[in-house]
Every structure is written in structure tokens, then in C-alpha cells.
Structure 1
Amino acid sequence: MEECVRRERILEAACKVLQKHGYHGASMDKVAECSGMSKRTLYKMFPSKLELFQILIRERLFDVKPQVASDARTPEEELSSLLVDLARTILRPDRISLIRAIIAETSESENVREIIAALETGGEDNALEAWLQAYCRQQGYPVTNVRFLGKMLFGMTVGDFVLQTLGCATEAPTCEAIHYQTDVAVRIFLAGLRSLPLGD
């Protein structure tokens, strides 16, 4: 079995173990058993339980790589398609289950709180921030506040969809609702961005 296949199998198993047992109840023994791998193999690839779960959370929730649709013609269409693709990735049932498991653990586990605090929204290669930075440069807007703008736009769209999905009071948003809300949010956001005085 190739190393990348073994690695993916271990991460899948770690995800299942975290969801079933929580961080404190998760152990390298349980992950090894669930993955069908030996503990020796597990420790060769992931030297500690903390590192294993850091990598799992980073790769599954933070290092997502959404794409702009190839048929997008305007900045609004580009940004909307990027956010819709990001929403599709994060709203997958396996990712939502992982988010639920993490939320349940943050009040109980200092390690999980530290993992989340150490990670940036969107990961090291944040496609949303990169798009906003390029757009601001192209339009002649200052780019010092791109992180703030990215978080604001994420909250208006993907963050809201995640809350809707996690909440018991409402159903998960439909594809049509995601497209509509994202399109409206993007138009409002870009119009507001254009109206800001330079330097804000």
C-alpha cells in the first residue's frame, strides 16, 4: 500500500475515532485498530496523538482549496463561485460531523482549543483572501485589511451556512439557497467595498 493511501486511511480512522470517542477517549490504539494499520506504522507517520489530530483538523477543515468556476465572467461571478465551492466542501456530511465533534471537545480539551487557535480560517493557502487581495490590487484599494474582509465575507456566507446546518431549528441550506444567499452577499459586499474611502 502506498504511503499516501496509508496516510489517508489513518486520517479517516482518526476522524471516526474522534467523532465516536472524543479527543480524550481517542487513543493511538483505537486509531490503529480502526484503520487496520499497526501502531508502528501509525507512529512512523504521526509521532503523537496531538500531531495526528492537528493534521486531521487542519487538512479537513482549514486547508480547503475552492476554485473559481471556469465560466465566471465578472468579479461577482468569480467570488460567488469561489464561495459556493468552499461551502460545498465544508458542508459535506463528514466535515460537518467533524465540526460537531470539535465543538463538543473545545470546552473539555485544552489540546483541541490550542489546535483550533493555532489554525487560520482557510489554512495556509487561503483562496478567499488571495482572491480579495488580487481584486483589491486590481481596483486600487488598500490591501492591509484583507484578513478582516475575508472573515467578514466568510461569515456572511459559508459561516452562516455552517451555523444553519449545525442548528437543530432549521434544515441545512439547499443548493439553491446557498447560490442565492452567496450571490446577494457578494453583491452587497463588493458594492460596500467600492464605497469605502481609500485607507479604510
Structure 2
Amino acid sequence: MEECERRRRILNSACEILQAHGYHAASMDKVAHCSGMSKRTLYQLYPSKQDLFLSLIGARLFCLPSPVEPVAETPEEELAGLLSGVAKWLLCPDQIELIRAIIAETPEAPDITEIMLNLKKGGETNIFNRWLRDYCVASGHPEADISGLSRHLFGMTIGELMLNGLIGADEYMTPDAIGHFLSSGARLFLAGLRAGWESDAGDAGGKAAPSP
């Protein structure tokens, strides 16, 4: 069996164990048994339980597949297309169940908290950061706080939808509702961003103006 297939089976099993038993009870023995792998193979690929679940959470929640660049006539349409591609990945039932399991474990499992904080630091490479950096440079604002903007964008769009998924608000999770919400979110976000730039420019111009 190729190593990539062994890793895939192990991570799938680790996900099942985490959801069924929680992080504390998710032993390497259980993962090895569930995956049909020997403990020796498991430890060769993942030296510790924390390494295993770091890889699982990173692969499922942070290593997003690169979406196909949407064909769009406006920045709003382009951003909405990117949001839709990420939403399809993060809002599928398997991912929602994994997120629910992680949230349930976080207060009692420092390991999980540490894993999430470490993975969050890698967010500089995500597609929203790249898109926003290009947009800000093209708009004449290369100094913009890209990481901060990316967090705001995610929170007001996909983050809101993830919360709906976690609490079972199904009426907000239909394809049409998601598409409308993300399109509206993209328009509001970019309108607010441009309004902030215009306000900053006006303030700067006022300060620079000579006193009467």
C-alpha cells in the first residue's frame, strides 16, 4: 500500500475515533485497530497522538483545496466565487461534525487548543489573504492589514454559516440561501473596505489643509 493511501486511511480512522470517543479517549491503539494498520506503521507515520491529530485537523480544516478561479466581471463576483468554493469544503456534513467534535473537546483538552492555535498561525497562506493582498495592491493600498481583513471577511461570511451548521439552522443552509448570503457578504465587505479608505483619505486631506 502506498504511503499516501496509508495516511488517508489513518486520518479517516482518527476522524471517526475523535467524533465517537473524544480526544481524551482517542488512543493510538483505537486508531490503529480502526484503520487496519499496525501500531508500528502508525507510529512511523505519526510519532505521537498530538502529531496525528495535528495532521488530521490541519488537513481537514486548514489545507483547503484551491478552488477554480471564478470567471467574474467585478471584484464582488470574484470574491463571492472564492467564498463559495471554500464554503463547499468547510460546510459539508463531515467537516461540520469534525468541528463540532473539536469544539466539544477544547475546554478539557489543552492539546486541541494548542493544535488549533498553531495551525491558525499558518493562515497567511490562505486564499483570502492572497486575494485581498492582490486587491489592496491594485486599489492603491498595499499597506492594508491583510490578516485582519481576512479574519473579518471569514467571520462575517463563512464563519456565520459554520455557526448555522453547528446549531442545525437548516433553513439558512440551502444552496440558494448560502449563495445569496455569500454574494451579499462580498458586496458589503468590499463596500465597507472602500468606504474606510475614502474616510482615511478625507481625514488625511483635512489634516494637510492649511488653516484659514
Single out whichever of 139-148 and 41-50 deviates more from structure 2: 139-148
Given the alignment of the two structures, is residue 73 of structure 1 paired with residue 68 of structure 2, yes or no?
no
Stretches of structure 1 that go unaligned for 5 or more consecutive residues are none
Per the TM alignment, residue 156 of structure 1 is displaced from its structure 2 partner at its CA by 1.0
Moved more, 180-189 or 115-124: 115-124
TM-score, structure 2 length as denominator?
0.88
The letter of the residue matching 1:156 is: M
Q: Pairwise mapping of residues 142-157 of structure 1 onto structure 2 (< 5 A)?
A: 142-157=142-157
Shift of residue 196, structure 1, vs aligned partner: 1.7
Are the equivalent residues in 1 in contact too, given 2:128–2:150 (CA < 8 A)? yes
Change (3 A) 1:121 1:184: farther
Equivalent in the alignment of 1:116: 116
Q: Does structure 2 conserve the Cα–Cα contact (< 8 Å) formed by 1:63 and 1:122?
A: no
Alpha-carbon distance between aligned partners in 2 of 1:135 and 1:94, rounded to the nearest angstrom: 32
Count residues with an aligned counterpart: 200
Which structure shows the bigger proportion of residues in helix conformation? Answer: 2
Q: 1:123 to 1:185 in 2, by over 3 A?
A: same
Return closer, same or farther for 1:113/1:166 CA change in 2, 3 Å cut-off: same
Which residue in the other structure is 1:125 paired with? 125
Determine if contact 2:124/2:147 at 8 Å carries over to the other structure: no
Paired position in structure 2 for 1:187: 187
Alpha-carbon offset, residue 123 of structure 1: 3.9
Q: Which moved more, 1:98-107 or 1:118-127?
A: 118-127
* Amino acid aligned to 2:35: S
Quickly say closer, same or farther: Cα 1:121–1:99, change in 2 above 3 A: farther
Give yes or no for contact 1:54–1:115 (8 Å, CA) kept in 2. yes
State the Cα deviation string for residues 135-179 of structure 1 (Å, max 9, x = none). Answer: 100111144411111111111110000000111455451111111
- Normalised to the residue count of structure 1, the TM-score between the two structures is 0.93
**Is 2:17 aligned against 1:17?**
yes
CA distance in 2, matches of 1:53, 1:90: 18
Pick closer, same or farther for the CA change 1:92–1:121 going to 2, 3 Å: farther
**Runs of 4+ displaced beyond 6 Å:** none
Q: Tell which deviates more after alignment, 74-83 or 62-71.
A: 62-71
> Does residue 3 of structure 1 match 2:3?
yes
Question: Counterpart of 2:164 in 1: which secondary structure?
Answer: helix
Task: Extract unaligned runs of 5+ from structure 2.
Answer: 204-212
Q: In terms of Rg, which structure is larger?
A: 2
Once residues 97 and 154 of structure 2 are traced to their aligned partners in structure 1, the CA distance between those partners, rounded to angstroms, is 20
Whole-angstrom CA distance in 1 between matches of 2:23 and 2:150: 30
Q: Hey, what's the Cα distance between the residues in 2 that align with 1:180 and 1:143?
A: 31
Q: CA deviation at 1:68?
A: 4.7
Worse-matched range after superposition: 88-97 or 58-67: 58-67
Identity of aligned residues (%): 52
1:92 is displaced (CA, Å) by 1.1
Local SS of the residue matching 2:132: helix
Say which SS state the counterpart of residue 119 (structure 1) adopts: helix
